[in-house]
Amino acid sequence: MPVNPADSPIFGALYGSDAMRAVFDDMAFCQRMLDVEAALARVQARLGIIPAEAAAAITEAARVENLDVAAMRASVANVGYPVVGLVAGLSAAVDALGTPHGGWTHWGATTQDIMDSATSLQVRDGLALLRADLVAVVRALATQAAAHRTTLMAGRTHLQHALPVTFGLKLATWLAPLAAHVERLDQLAPRACAVQFGGAAGTLASLGEHGLAVMEGLGAELGLTVPDAPWHVGRDGLAEAVGFLGLLCGSLAKIATDVILLAQNEVAELTEPYVHGRGQSSTMPQKRNPIASEYILASTRAVQALVPLMQGAMAGDHERATGPWQAEPLAIGQAFVLAHGALLHARAIAEGMVVDTAKMRANLDLTGGLIVAEAVMMGLAPLLGREAAHHVVKHACDRALTDGITLAAALGHESAVTARLDAAAIAALVAPGAYLGSTDRFIERVLGRARGIT
């Protein structure tokens, strides 16, 4: 029975994906360990260390359905690790083929070699799933940013109107770190997906002169990178992978936070894609709650809470850790499942967001032009001097707020302004679309980065 909702047949769709759970579930891990054992046998056969017939039999028998789950469970409870039971089951399956080669399994390896290499295979597959959906989000946001590069809206700082921006710039701000995350993923994958093969204490003494050749061959056979030395107590690659998931979710959480704020009834500029019944209330029929964004935030908090666990596991003692390493399975699978769930929610938002451009413009105009006060000040500064311009515009803003008039009208009462500018010039100063600075160039730079992602 699942305890974590991310693994629940009922609640799991909110927190993760079946595809990622299939990568990291118990049976998948057992199969990956068997894959490592079979690959090891094939490499050793090619090097003349074990008979070719043994490698063929081990490969044929290395299927998870050949394992006795009850026996594995009993062995793990007694030994503390799964590999002893797994090797026993594999050896028995080899012998059951009618060949006397079961004794050649696990030749020269140690428990952590098999478990860590299996974990590397899982991480490789998990990163590939994440990359596909991350690229989809990047492409969807790039499309939206291009479509809305000139859509005016209020830029907000401290939740207050600040300056005019475009929705395209906001989307580009969401997009930029996600494009960088694709690059990060591609850079970290070789470090996080490395073969582990070091034998009992990281020397491969049991294989004599063949140790390094077996390690290199095993990496090639499994499609994993080959490290300079065994990493039994060098856990930085796996810690980096989960740390990356924390960064990715942090960027998704920024998007989710903005979506939630923009979806408030009082703002109503953007909503999540509508599906009948989604986000509904059991008592309030009008509700369309931002469910996807809410679960992005929940998953992010959980993933980021797992990052310190992985970093703490890096403090391994001597040549094999007594505790820190064993904490990693509590974090890796859950972090990948939750991160993928958050990413899928973000993909749904990016591809189907509902944008109300009219409401964006109405909210921009809500303060009667006060949002362009800086633009007016900068426009008057060459005429009045910066300090004097600030004073005049501040006085005009106070008048606008007190009298309930527009900033343009308030400026019309300032003699220092009217002595130099006519009504048309004042209107040009308060036009929001005229004060966007490098907005379009920033958007194009981000879109250029996104176009280079394949």
CA distance 89 to 84: 9
281 is catalytic: yes
Which of 281, 386, 438, 451 is the catalytic position?
281
Collapsing DSSP to helix, strand or coil, 66 comes out as helix
Q: Are 139 and 447 in contact (CB under 8 A)?
A: no
The label of the residue with tokens 């938002």 reads 349
DSSP 273: P
Which of 46, 288, 320, 361 is the catalytic position?
320
DSSP 325: G
Q: Are 33 and 115 in contact (CB under 8 A)?
A: yes
Q: Which residues of 105-139 are buried (b: 16+ CB within 10 A; e: fewer)?
A: bbbbbbbbbbbbbbbbbbbbbbbebbbebbbbbbb
Give the C-alpha distances (Å, rounded to integers) separating 52 from 49, 93, 208, 293, 403.
Answer: 9, 17, 19, 55, 92
DSSP E strand boundaries for 109-234: 152-157, 160-166
Residue type at position 343: L
Collapsing DSSP to helix, strand or coil, 433 comes out as helix
Q: Are 411 and 395 in contact (CB under 8 A)?
A: no
Reference 301, options 249, 254, 336; nearest CA is 249
438 is catalytic: no
DSSP 100: S
Residues 6+ apart with CB under 8 A from 371: 154, 161, 162, 163, 164, 364, 432
The β-bridge relationship of strands 270-271 and 152-157 is: unpaired
Reference 87, options 98, 77, 76, 28; nearest CA is 76
Residue type at position 130: L
Q: Which residues are known to be catalytic?
A: 281, 320
